[in-house]
A and B are shown apart, each in its own frame.
Chain A
Amino acid sequence: SASSLAAAAVAGAVRGALGPRGGRALVLRPDGRPLLTRDGRRLLEALCLQPPTARLMAAAACRHRGATGDGAKTFVLLLAAVLRGLRAAGGAGRALPDFERRVLEPAAALGLRRHLLSAFPGEEAEPRVDLAALEALLDAYLRGRVGPGERRRLARLCREYLGRCAARRPPALRLLGRHFEALHAAVPGLPLDGSAVLPGVVLRRDFAAYSPASGAAGAVVVTEPLHAGPSAPGVELVVGSEGQYEAARRWCEARTEAAVKRLRSSNVGLLLSSVKQQDVVIYYAKLYGVSVVECLSAEEVALVREITGVSPYSPFGDNGCSEITDTAAVTFCRPLLLGSKRYAHIGFASSACAFQPHCLVLCGPVDGVNEQHAAAIQGAFTMLQQLFKTVDGREECRSKGESQSDALDVCSRHSSATQKQLTVENICCNSNQVSEHQLKTHRGETDTQIVDSALKGSENPAGIQTASQIPSNPASHSEELNVPCRGAGSSTDAQKPHAKCEHSGEMHKGYESDLPVDNQKNYGTAVLTTDNANTVTVCERLDVGKDLEKASCGIIPFKHEEGCVSVAQNYSSSIIEAGSVLPVGGYFEILLHYYIQYYAKQLQQSAVTVISSVVADALLIIPKSLHGTTEGNSFAKFYLKTTNALRKNQPLPVNEKGLESVYCKYQLVISVLHCVTELLSIDLIIGVKRPLQKIEDNDSDDDL
């Protein structure tokens, strides 16, 4: 009950900033600088909460926000509502995992699915966000993050930025998210309308030396001073005669001159330095027409290195005669006056992952607003990355015995509820094809630990498995060779390949063309998914597709993102497919509320039913607070309209243009439930005097 009270207090603090009608918070930092924000994570951090349970909740909310880019405030509200509900119901928290498996997942996979829209309209092998969907997503996302007068302009700006950077796929979005700090410039004192997208990169330094002719030449990055005197710190120079000393100094300067000359002769027109260069270097650079930007921040250097692929040039590393080859192609380089400061504006020829570097210039009356806008846009990049994810793994951490018996339970229920028409022969045959194919593609790969998945396969007593599960074993064994390219998540996937009879042939072709190219990328994304902690699970739902028009169960032997999405249009075994979106404004919560109740009715177990009603009611807190601030009963109207439409099987009455990612939303519910489980399982809080040592968890890193 202490945790319930703490959660209610925290929720009260963030409620004011929630939703399109929420206001923003003015955070006064310890150094007195004001920060404006509506970001739940910032708010929770700024509150400096003291009660241990509240801190735990805030940490969980921030973790969720960090992983998905959205939803810290919603997290807290939902958490408070669930805790309150559980307290009122008299604590049935132990049944939460059961609820998740038996009610929540079917509700999402079977119920929610038919209402979902996709943000990837094209049938491309590599999905990218549709422009119209992008605008709707950004608009809805920014609505909760910036003021009402700024939202539209920022959404347009952000869409233009993404369009011009050609960043509508995960690799480029990740790059943007990582380097946005260096990819935007803030100008305080100008109205928001002055904001613009500029081609190239704006470095937050003026040129130390500038020559206009250096535009179309190459650029090098240096991380050490080009000039070194005759003696250095820690080095003793013994001078034998006056002439000797003079000659040493002369030689040092001549060496610097030669270094600059060499740059020029290698067609290098721009020197990007992370350290301050001495006056002599600037002098020679001016003399030989080389532009210099010095004292670059680590982020800027990292950005330049990533988009151009050059490594830092070491001036005295080699013999000093050969031509410098590791240069970045520069299309233009000029000083740029933003506000009253001068910056170096540099255009790099496009390079890695077709990313076109652009700089976002954000204008706002005060720095605090610019910070808010920049953080919101950076969050939007994280949110867009989530769009490419699917909810499909099974969690590893559960005890095996329990999960097996559950699987039995669930499977038998499903097989009785849905008459499966797959024949054993067919699937066997198909999976054999699959495995052959995989062997072919991945023969070169070395195998690592997939003992896990093999073990699990053998542990499954054959008798328990339904007919369609049996053929999964050959496929999972054959995947052993495939695993290294998919990371840790594969051991889960290996358990449950599905077969879709008619389409398997085509799919193989698809893989053939996809895999060699995408291996590297897929690996990266798979790692990222597992990295984000809460990989949500799908149990073996052979009937997942049953409720869809096409009575099919998808075969996805490869559960990596791109491959999965290319077939996901027709058949999928995931709970939530990549690119799934819903209209914003509480539709997700009401739908989930409805379907949780629907699926809970089919269960007899009382504990799960209790939890179901608690969670279902708690979910309504979100649309309630979104609608609550305006005229009295708008929430009730909205609720009735939506549920009526659901009962009559009509399309949802939507008058919202904004969209939100269902993955984020679903992930939020799961994270909240995990946090509740965690909170309820704590029985004693012990204060300690010494700082707690963080225990390094090596295994999580090694697994990846």
Chain B
Amino acid sequence: MSRLEAKKPSLFISDPLTKDTVSQSLSLLNRILKSCYGPAGRLKQLHNGVGGYVCITSQSSAILGRLSVSHPVLKVLTASVQNHIARFSDCGLFTAILCCSLIENFKSLHVPSCTVIKISKHLLSLCTDYLKSEACGCRVSVDFSNLKTLLCLARSILTSKPACMLNATEVDHLAMLIVKAFMFTIPCHVETKAVLGKCVTVPVKGRRVLDSTVLPGLLIETPEIQFAKLLSVKRISSDTIKIALFCVSMSGDLFNPEEGTITVHHRISLEMSELNQLLNVGKQLVNDEVGLVVCQKVIHPSLKQYLKENQVMAVDRAGLSVMEPLSQMTGSKPIASIHSFSPSCYGSLKDVCTKSFGSKHFVHLIPNDTVVCSLVLCNRNETAWDELKCACETAEHVLQLTIKEPLALLGGGCTESHLASYVRYKTCSLSTSSFKDVDCSQTQYQLIADAFCRSLESVACSLSHDDEILTDMVYGHCWLVPSGFPSVSNWSDLLSKCGCGINSNTQNLNWRLLQPHFGSPTIQSCPKEPSVDAADLLTLDCFAAKYSGLQVAVETANLILDLSCIIEDQN
């Protein structure tokens, strides 16, 4: 009998955005995220009241994943940013800050949300068209024959995560490792559709960052291998070892939950027969001159012993995660049957050796074709290691995104301020027909365009937490005034390079303060594209991630502005 319970009526809240609670929690979230942004971002310590694991971080993925947001509107916002991070890994804070600022700025205008949405959609298309066009002044194309831009990309990501606790040499070392690991994963023989390989991160905690390294092939942790000092593996030739990969349990257990009852007559041992079968498998492997057997699950000790006696190395409990890269790397097919298998399933390896890092022992499988590599990542303590791992994975992902679309955006706030000045310039010279298109007056359009630009600039402003930020009127780039100097009239004495490092202070660029709270002068000319002179230490951002983040931020802000009511199911 089913039990019927009366459903409680839902809670209906109309016009949620006009409520104080929303604006308060929104601005709190915005302040938290802004303070995390950039290389000088402040760290956040996340822990619960009853102790346990403490997380020190400034990354959006870590913060948003652990923060429990109660308000439904903020839930939508954080879900949206988290989805963006899941797709692109990078630019999560950018998306979140921009989205919060857009909502706050648009909300204060008191223009009907329908009009705001239409206009901001139009402004967004201005930005995206510009970023996609050849004339775009804030993007650089990435040349894969020159590693410099790739290193810049990796370095920018590492430096923007202060919780990794890295110094300049360590950043350089890791950036080099990341690019090297990325290079390993690119297949040498490209067919019609190239598939990138995999970089497996191996954790080694409590060691110096400079001990980190990249190795081609896979490392499988095996605690017992330390006893076998000398590795004697049967080889077919000096650089070929046959490998067999099993995904079925070789433990000799009979237990299978799916099957029915088995009645066994007295004095018949099925375990015995199972073990015999395993030993038959061992014989076949030896006969087929297999040198290495890797099993996803457990291998029976007798079989292991037998294989060892015949100079066949056996590695068990490899786990599901290594199966795919292992099969990709060796060309072997995981065998799922211990009754019959054909020699066509075997793969080959170049070499096998043992490696030790700290207290951990590994078998190192070296393939012929290195599409799989292992990044041995060291850091001093647990929390810093977690942060570093996240940063390295982000960098790896960004490089993968960049190979799809070989472009990068200028970092250090320059893209944001440049885009803002471009939009300001464009909206000054807009024809009346485009106002008709979006069904609004020119004043409304100007108001919203200004709020849009201020939101973009406020992202750039969050890069500095105490210092003043300037923008120039020629390139529209972002300049950071070093702290400790009083406000002076002649800024050119203090400034050396812009945020991304592409422009240096060679001429008077007509600076002004970048303050998102005041209206800014109309811009008469389109911001120029700087002449790129292979500057070494550029700060670069991932194009795909920022491009999508910009769109997601505007779309999410529109989504939230469009809310007319909230219905909370109380059941």
Q: What B residues does A190 contact at CB under 8 A?
A: 87, 548, 552
Q: Which of A16, A48, A254, A365 has the most CB of B within 10 A?
A: A365
Question: Is B258 interfacial (CB 8 A cutoff)?
Answer: yes
B547-561, CB < 8 A from A: 548, 551-552, 555-556, 558-559
With A24-B562, A149-B555 given, is the CB distance from A189 to B10 under 8 Å?
no
Question: Is A691 interfacial (CB 8 A cutoff)?
Answer: yes
> B10–A26 contact, CB under 8 A?
no
Q: Which residue of the partner chain B has the closest CB to A279?
A: B336
Interface string of B538-571 (1 = CB under 8 A from A): 0000000000100110011011001111111111
Q: Nearest chain B CB to A239's CB is how many angstroms away?
A: 5
Interface string of B249-266 (1 = CB under 8 A from A): 000000010111111110
Q: Nearest chain B CB to A149's CB is how many angstroms away?
A: 4
Q: Nearest chain B CB to A89's CB is how many angstroms away?
A: 30
Q: What A residues does B79 contact at CB under 8 A?
A: 34, 188, 366-368
8 nearest CB pairs, A to B: A23-B564, A189-B83, A191-B551, A283-B336, A16-B564, A279-B336, A365-B80, A242-B273
Q: Which of B69-77, B410-418, B492-500 contacts A (4 or more CB under 8 A)?
A: B69-77
Interface string of A232-272 (1 = CB under 8 A from B): 11111111111101100110011001000000000000000
Q: What A residues does B258 contact at CB under 8 A?
A: 229, 233
Question: Is A357 interfacial (CB 8 A cutoff)?
Answer: no
Q: Nearest chain B CB to A471's CB is how many angstroms away?
A: 57
Q: Nearest chain A CB to B191's CB is how many angstroms away?
A: 10
Question: Is B168 interfacial (CB 8 A cutoff)?
Answer: no
> B265–A240 contact, CB under 8 A?
yes
| A193 touches which of B112, B261, B551, B567 (Cβ 8 Å) | B551
| A365 touches which of B12, B72, B559 (Cβ 8 Å) | B559
- Taking Cβ atoms with an 8 Å cutoff, the residues of B that contact A are 4, 7-10, 12, 14, 16, 72-73, 75-76, 79-80, 82-88, 112-114, 117-118, 120-121, 128, 247-248, 256, 258-265, 268-270, 272-273, 277, 333-337, 339-340, 342, 344-345, 548, 551-552, 555-556, 558-559, 562-571
Q: What B residues does A513 contact at CB under 8 A?
A: none
> A50–B345 contact, CB under 8 A?
no
Q: Which residue of the partner chain B has the closest CB to A253?
A: B339
A-B contact pairs, 10 of them (CB 8 A): A23-B563, A24-B563, A29-B569, A50-B9, A190-B548, A230-B259, A233-B258, A233-B260, A240-B265, A242-B270
With A46-B569, A365-B552 given, is the CB distance from A282 to B336 under 8 Å?
yes
With A191-B555, A237-B261 given, is the CB distance from A148 to B117 under 8 Å?
yes
**In whole angstroms, how far apart are the Cα atoms of A271 and B113 in the complex?**
51
Q: What A residues does B559 contact at CB under 8 A?
A: 24, 36, 147, 365-366, 369
> A231–B76 contact, CB under 8 A?
no
**In whole angstroms, how far apart are the Cα atoms of A148 and B569 in the complex?**
26
| A245 touches which of B16, B273, B340, B556 (Cβ 8 Å) | B273
Q: Which residue of the partner chain A has the closest CB to B76?
A: A34
Q: What B residues does A366 contact at CB under 8 A?
A: 76, 79-80, 83, 556, 559
**In whole angstroms, how far apart are the Cα atoms of A233 and B262 in the complex?**
10
Q: Which of B83, B128, B269, B551 has the most CB of A within 10 A?
A: B83
Q: What B residues does A169 contact at CB under 8 A?
A: none
Q: Nearest chain B CB to A601's CB is how many angstroms away?
A: 39
Interface string of A410-449 (1 = CB under 8 A from B): 0000000000000000000000000000000000000000
With A149-B118, A282-B336, A283-B336 given, is the CB distance from A242 to B567 under 8 Å?
no
- Taking Cβ atoms with an 8 Å cutoff, the residues of A that contact B are 13, 16-17, 20-30, 32, 34, 36, 43, 46-50, 147-149, 188-194, 229-243, 245-246, 249-250, 253-254, 257, 278-280, 282-284, 286-287, 339-340, 364-369, 629-630, 691
| A236 touches which of B76, B113, B261 (Cβ 8 Å) | B261
Q: Nearest chain A CB to B131's CB is how many angstroms away?
A: 13
With A147-B562, A364-B555, A368-B76 given, is the CB distance from A236 to B569 under 8 Å?
no
Known: A191-B555, A240-B268, A283-B337. 8 other contacts (CB 8 A): A28-B566, A231-B262, A245-B268, A253-B340, A283-B334, A287-B342, A287-B344, A368-B79
With A287-B344, A340-B86 given, is the CB distance from A34 to B337 under 8 Å?
no
Q: Which residue of the partner chain A has the closest CB to B1?
A: A691
Q: What B residues does A229 contact at CB under 8 A?
A: 256, 258-259
> B84–A365 contact, CB under 8 A?
yes
> A365–B83 contact, CB under 8 A?
yes
> B260–A148 contact, CB under 8 A?
no
Q: What B residues does A243 contact at CB under 8 A?
A: 273
Q: Nearest chain B CB to A346's CB is how many angstroms away?
A: 17
Q: Which residue of the partner chain B has the closest CB to A43?
A: B567
**In whole angstroms, how far apart are the Cα atoms of A193 and B270 in the complex?**
61
Q: Which residue of the partner chain B has the closest CB to A240?
A: B265
Q: Nearest chain A CB to B192's CB is how many angstroms away?
A: 9
> A246–B277 contact, CB under 8 A?
yes
Q: What B residues does A233 contact at CB under 8 A?
A: 258-260
| B555 touches which of A22, A192, A283, A339 (Cβ 8 Å) | A192
> A28–B551 contact, CB under 8 A?
no
Q: What B residues does A43 contact at CB under 8 A?
A: 567
**In whole angstroms, how far apart are the Cα atoms of A192 and B548 in the complex?**
10
> A238–B87 contact, CB under 8 A?
no
**In whole angstroms, how far apart are the Cα atoms of A629 and B79 in the complex?**
31
Q: Which of A26, A43, A50, A283 has the most CB of B within 10 A?
A: A26
With A233-B258, A242-B272, A253-B337 given, is the CB distance from A26 to B563 under 8 Å?
yes
**In whole angstroms, how far apart are the Cα atoms of A234 and B16 in the complex?**
58
**In whole angstroms, how far apart are the Cα atoms of A47 and B258 in the complex?**
45
Q: Which of B336, B567, B571 has the most CB of A within 10 A?
A: B567
With A30-B571, A239-B263, A691-B4 given, is the CB distance from A22 to B76 under 8 Å?
no
Q: Nearest chain A CB to B67's CB is how many angstroms away?
A: 15
Q: Nearest chain A CB to B341's CB is how many angstroms away?
A: 8
**In whole angstroms, how far apart are the Cα atoms of A319 and B108 in the complex?**
76
Q: What B residues does A278 contact at CB under 8 A?
A: 336
**In whole angstroms, how far apart are the Cα atoms of A280 and B345 in the complex?**
13
With A25-B564, A26-B72, A242-B270 given, is the CB distance from A149 to B117 under 8 Å?
yes
**In whole angstroms, how far apart are the Cα atoms of A234 and B248 in the complex?**
25
Q: What A residues does B87 contact at CB under 8 A?
A: 189-190, 339-340
Q: Nearest chain A CB to B107's CB is how many angstroms away?
A: 13
Q: What B residues does A188 contact at CB under 8 A?
A: 79, 83, 86
With A16-B14, A279-B336, A283-B334 given, is the CB distance from A47 to B562 under 8 Å?
no
Q: What B residues does A231 contact at CB under 8 A?
A: 259-262
Q: Nearest chain A CB to B246's CB is how many angstroms away?
A: 10
Q: Nearest chain A CB to B313's CB is how many angstroms away?
A: 23
Q: What A residues does B334 contact at CB under 8 A?
A: 283
**In whole angstroms, how far apart are the Cα atoms of A192 and B117 in the complex?**
14
**In whole angstroms, how far apart are the Cα atoms of A239 and B4 in the complex?**
51
With A23-B564, A148-B114, A367-B79 given, is the CB distance from A279 to B84 under 8 Å?
no
Q: Which of A22, A148, A238, A287 has the most CB of B within 10 A?
A: A148
Q: Nearest chain A CB to B265's CB is how many angstroms away?
A: 6
Q: Nearest chain B CB to A307's CB is how many angstroms away?
A: 27
With A23-B565, A27-B567, A237-B263 given, is the CB distance from A48 to B268 under 8 Å?
no
**In whole angstroms, how far apart are the Cα atoms of A99 and B247 in the complex?**
75
Q: Nearest chain A CB to B185's CB is how many angstroms away?
A: 16
**In whole angstroms, how far apart are the Cα atoms of A155 and B565 in the complex?**
25
Q: Nearest chain B CB to A295's CB is how many angstroms away?
A: 16
Q: What B residues does A364 contact at CB under 8 A?
A: 555
**In whole angstroms, how far apart are the Cα atoms of A545 and B269 in the complex?**
91
> A25–B567 contact, CB under 8 A?
yes
Q: What A residues does B273 contact at CB under 8 A?
A: 242-243, 245-246
Q: What B residues does A147 contact at CB under 8 A?
A: 117, 558-559, 562
> B551–A339 contact, CB under 8 A?
no
**In whole angstroms, how far apart are the Cα atoms of A418 and B556 in the complex?**
60
Q: What B residues does A629 contact at CB under 8 A?
A: 112
> A287–B571 contact, CB under 8 A?
no
Q: What A residues does B344 contact at CB under 8 A?
A: 287
**In whole angstroms, how far apart are the Cα atoms of A367 and B80 in the complex?**
8
